[in-house]
Structure 1
Amino acid sequence: MKILGYTSPARGHLFPLIPILTELRDRGHLVSVRTLAGSVDVVRSLGLSAHAVDPRIEAIEHDDFTARSAVGAVKRSTATFVKRSEFESSDLASAISSDRPELLLIDTNCWGAAAVAEASGLPWASWLPYPAPFPGKGIPPFGPGFAPAGNRQGRLRDAVLGRLITTSVARTIRPPLNAVRASIGVPELRDTREVFTRPPLTLYLTAEPFEYHRVDWPASFRLVGPVSYDPPADPPPGLAEIDRPIVLVTTSSEFQDDARLVATTLTALEDEDVFVIATLPAGDPAGIDIPANAWVEHWIPHSALLPRAACVITHGGMGATQKALSHGVPVVAVPFGRDQLEVARRVEVSGAGVRLPLRRLTAARLRAAVREATARSGRAGELAQAMNSAGGAPKAADEIEQLAATWTAGPEATVPS
């Protein structure tokens, strides 16, 4: 079977897909990918066909880190996805024409590409690498990172603010997105939840109990557990000689001005009996005052560090957080924006780490949070067992093959030119 994957220009969305694609490749399928230009060579090095998405898509950058509230950040993010959707539609149509795939895998944030997939008549699936951003029974509204309601007051909060957030986001995205969908010839969206429920299959890259228990999952959703990938790179010289517990600090692979987390950590742990290793893939280590018990690098494979890590301090990205927890390493989550407030709250609720709000980030509080999180290694180990038993890439590949085997296309299916 010929499979075409299409991703948004974000490593945090490409990297979780890579183990699924290589699993499909190893099962004999022919796999090609359209993704961000800077990662094309990485994908090709794995024996997969890869090409860059339309550069106009990458030119539309996230500016959600400039928002003054969680709701404002959600609105800015969704507006970015809408702007990209117009270029995605023609880009994916061109890729379908050249590759002639028999199945499509579409990034959940690629709304124009999803509309083309819907129109194509081909079997298609989506993958969701961050907390499900739509309402559910007993689930707090997405964005602010609320704890699940435990009383009547909390349920009232969820009802009122959930309606406010949903209405506000819908006003931002529905009219322009439905205009794109109309140009492709697929039905308009009646509510924003449909953005995530239209795919015939959604591979949700997490598992309970890290994710909240829902009683009303869409029938198309499959929780397959976390899936992660590290680009190949040599571990730094001297890693084997480090004889202290390692504290790993991760920041976002997409710029969001989170270098402050690294600087605060270095100050907080300078006199502790640990060794700090921080990565700044979207930042610049130059100008950071680095103490003797620390390294700050642009990139180090996390998989080389996590087996020796006592704690991970993270910006709350779903990929980095779940990677740590799936290794049984407790987490301190300091969310800066995007889905990170939701991820950080799940860290707290799961009991496998500590949530430290950005507005409370100081060296003293971070030092205390690391000590508290390190004491929760037992719970992190329990969570790792649950995550790793969910199936991962092999389970995702099983679901994709099942979709292809049972697919029936509608008579109206067309691929836009």
Structure 2
Amino acid sequence: MTKILAFTSPAKGHLYPVAPVLAELVSRGHEVTVLTLPGSREALDPFGITVRELPPTLAANTLDDWATTSRIPALRAAVRALVARIPDEIQALRSAIIAERPDALLIDVTAPGAQILASASGLPWASWAAMLLPIPSRDSPPFGPGLRPQTDLLGRVRDRSLRWFLTRRWNEVLPQLNHMRQYYGLDPLDNTEDYLRQPTLTLNFTAPPFDDVHSDWPPTVHQIGPGLWAPDAEPPSWLDEIDRPLAVVTCSTEFQDDGRLAQVAMDALADSGLYTVVTAGAVDAATLTVPPNARVEQFVPHHLLLDRAAVVVTHGGMGITQKALAAGVPVCVVPFGRSQSEVARRVVTNAAGTWLSAKRLTVAHLRAGIEKAMTCRDGAARVAAGFAAAGGTLRGAELLELHFAGHAIEHTAWTGTTPTHSSHVYPTNEVAPEITPEPDPIVLPPKDSPPTDDQYWTTWQRRDR
């Protein structure tokens, strides 16, 4: 049995993708504690996962990238916000390590402070990413603007020039990142992007063909398909009263001022044969004007709607986009910021939907985009097949068990069977490999440190002098 401490960033939507893997680890006999946003305990308690809440300094952290005017400044703002959280993440994880005494750590890739402390702790650790990973690759355009692959000479020149430009932008935070790494005894990074190569195992919750095949990525990255779990919920009573296919419209749960999407979508579909259901997320639902064939809810679990959906109209969040495609539902993506243009690019590359500019968001334009997206069910089905073949929950748990046991992991295709539904949400008949109960040794303090029997506290006390 291994005692695992997981750490999520304070971003909404980062817990649910990894939750089924954590639950699967518990079902295999491991002890799992997760440090995450407040309000998660009720959903995770049934699986035997212990919840520790992030401190208010992190839980109240929000992104302000929505206030920028274009894609690159928005991504720069998001990266700066991640780096600014480093001290609070270190403090939160350190306190949890002292209290929980884990054997291993599992860290959100968007928590750089937690990753720094994990690297310095001497404990075995791994990371996970609920997002598209921006690791540079010769097989993809530079990450950020959502450029489509272009393999001719012009495309190669474009990619080389833009990669140089973007590397300079990302490296604006490199001094702060390296300062904290060196403070904790870690080697400095040459580029900010190298931060993504540090974990010796990264679970990425997506898979080809939705994401590009990256032949030059580090073998430590394993794409296992999307995390599709959501807490149990009863279908709303009003859903039974709707006798038409649904158009599901979603706004971000992290505020990014995308309420226009909900309003324009309802207006565009007001005279269609669809019934529009809007999940407003971080948008105030009371600010929207609702036509007769529409309904606005602050939130409805999307899995309750997707089996009746003809199309999903979305801001391009990874969660809803991959859930829709996994259900074979095409999407119309209107990105408003962050990495949503990269999500949209992959949708159109796979002919699984359409991509519209938020700056050109009109009723006529969106109606045309939705109608075209509804013809893309074949592409959505191909993406769904790729997700199903990636291994999912069982593959993720298997990789973590092997990694924490100190076994080498071969980067081979998953050949197991991912369960769908049963009385147990994450069933498995597999026998977990034996795992040694002794973690890697803690980094010990120098001999002149104050004497104490508590290795955890001594290590962090020395680091913080």
Question: TM-score, normalised to structure 2's length?
Answer: 0.86
- Aligned position for 1:363: 363
- Aligned position for 1:100: 101
User: Aligned AA for 1:380?
Assistant: A
For 1:155 and 1:85, locate their aligned partners in 2 and report how far apart those are by CA, in whole Å.
Answer: 36
The more displaced of 100-109 and 175-184 is 175-184
Does the 8 Å CA contact 1:60/1:83 hold for their aligned counterparts? no
Alpha-carbon shift at residue 287 of structure 1 (Å):
2.5
1:177-188 aligned within 5 A: 177-188=177-188
- Aligned position for 2:262: 262
Alpha-carbon shift at residue 236 of structure 1 (Å):
1.7
Query: 1:10 and 1:43, CA in 2 relative to 1: closer, same or farther beyond 3 A?
Result: farther
The more displaced of 4-13 and 262-271 is 4-13
For 2:244 and 2:154, locate their aligned partners in 1 and report how far apart those are by CA, in whole Å.
Answer: 46
- Aligned position for 1:34: 35
1:76-155 aligned within 5 A: 76-155=77-156
Alpha-carbon shift at residue 406 of structure 1 (Å):
1.6
- Aligned position for 1:175: 175
For 2:440 and 2:174, locate their aligned partners in 1 and report how far apart those are by CA, in whole Å.
Answer: 26
The more displaced of 51-60 and 28-37 is 51-60
Match of 2:39, SS?
helix
- Aligned position for 2:157: 156
Residue by residue over 1:204-258, the C-alpha shift from the partner in whole angstroms, topping out at 9 and shown as x without a partner, is 1111111012110112100101112223333221212321111111111111111
The more displaced of 355-364 and 197-206 is 355-364
The more displaced of 367-376 and 34-43 is 34-43
Does the 8 Å CA contact 1:116/1:416 hold for their aligned counterparts? no
Unmatched runs of 5 consecutive residues or more in structure 2: 408-438, 446-458
For 1:258 and 1:45, locate their aligned partners in 2 and report how far apart those are by CA, in whole Å.
Answer: 34
- Aligned position for 1:64: 65
- Aligned position for 1:50: 51
For 2:184 and 2:42, locate their aligned partners in 1 and report how far apart those are by CA, in whole Å.
Answer: 31
Alpha-carbon shift at residue 11 of structure 1 (Å):
2.1
For 1:329 and 1:59, locate their aligned partners in 2 and report how far apart those are by CA, in whole Å.
Answer: 34
User: Aligned AA for 1:198?
Assistant: Q
For 1:219 and 1:8, locate their aligned partners in 2 and report how far apart those are by CA, in whole Å.
Answer: 24
Alpha-carbon shift at residue 185 of structure 1 (Å):
1.8
For 2:375 and 2:305, locate their aligned partners in 1 and report how far apart those are by CA, in whole Å.
Answer: 19
Query: 1:301 and 1:60, CA in 2 relative to 1: closer, same or farther beyond 3 A?
Result: closer
Residue by residue over 1:270-328, the C-alpha shift from the partner in whole angstroms, topping out at 9 and shown as x without a partner, is 00000111101212110311111111101111111111111111100111100100111
User: Aligned AA for 2:393?
Assistant: A
The more displaced of 221-230 and 184-193 is 184-193
Alpha-carbon shift at residue 203 of structure 1 (Å):
0.3
For 2:385 and 2:117, locate their aligned partners in 1 and report how far apart those are by CA, in whole Å.
Answer: 38
Unmatched runs of 5 consecutive residues or more in structure 1: none
- Aligned position for 2:7: 6
Alpha-carbon shift at residue 153 of structure 1 (Å):
1.2
User: Aligned AA for 1:54?
Assistant: P
Query: 1:89 and 1:227, CA in 2 relative to 1: closer, same or farther beyond 3 A?
Result: same
Match of 2:278, SS?
strand
User: Aligned AA for 2:211?
Assistant: E
Matched residue count: 416
For 1:137 and 1:28, locate their aligned partners in 2 and report how far apart those are by CA, in whole Å.
Answer: 41
For 2:258 and 2:332, locate their aligned partners in 1 and report how far apart those are by CA, in whole Å.
Answer: 15
Residue by residue over 1:382-415, the C-alpha shift from the partner in whole angstroms, topping out at 9 and shown as x without a partner, is 2111111111111100100010122684885775
User: Aligned AA for 1:405?
Assistant: A
Instruction: Please report the RMSD computed on the Cα atoms of aligned residues, expressed in angstroms.
Output: 1.6
For 1:124 and 1:213, locate their aligned partners in 2 and report how far apart those are by CA, in whole Å.
Answer: 25
For 2:348 and 2:444, locate their aligned partners in 1 and report how far apart those are by CA, in whole Å.
Answer: 45
- Aligned position for 1:16: 17
The more displaced of 143-152 and 345-354 is 143-152
Alpha-carbon shift at residue 34 of structure 1 (Å):
0.6
Alpha-carbon shift at residue 52 of structure 1 (Å):
1.2
Alpha-carbon shift at residue 46 of structure 1 (Å):
4.1
Check if 1:416 corresponds to 2:460: yes
Match of 2:14, SS?
helix
Does the 8 Å CA contact 2:270/2:293 hold for their aligned counterparts? yes
The more displaced of 369-378 and 55-64 is 55-64
For 2:151 and 2:281, locate their aligned partners in 1 and report how far apart those are by CA, in whole Å.
Answer: 39
For 1:175 and 1:60, locate their aligned partners in 2 and report how far apart those are by CA, in whole Å.
Answer: 22
Alpha-carbon shift at residue 365 of structure 1 (Å):
1.2
Which structure has the larger Rg over C-alpha atoms?
2
Alpha-carbon shift at residue 57 of structure 1 (Å):
1.8
Match of 2:227, SS?
coil
Check if 1:313 corresponds to 2:313: yes
**Identical positions, percent:** 43
- Aligned position for 1:203: 203
For 2:287 and 2:253, locate their aligned partners in 1 and report how far apart those are by CA, in whole Å.
Answer: 19
Alpha-carbon shift at residue 58 of structure 1 (Å):
2.8
Match of 1:21, SS?
helix
Does the 8 Å CA contact 1:103/1:404 hold for their aligned counterparts? yes
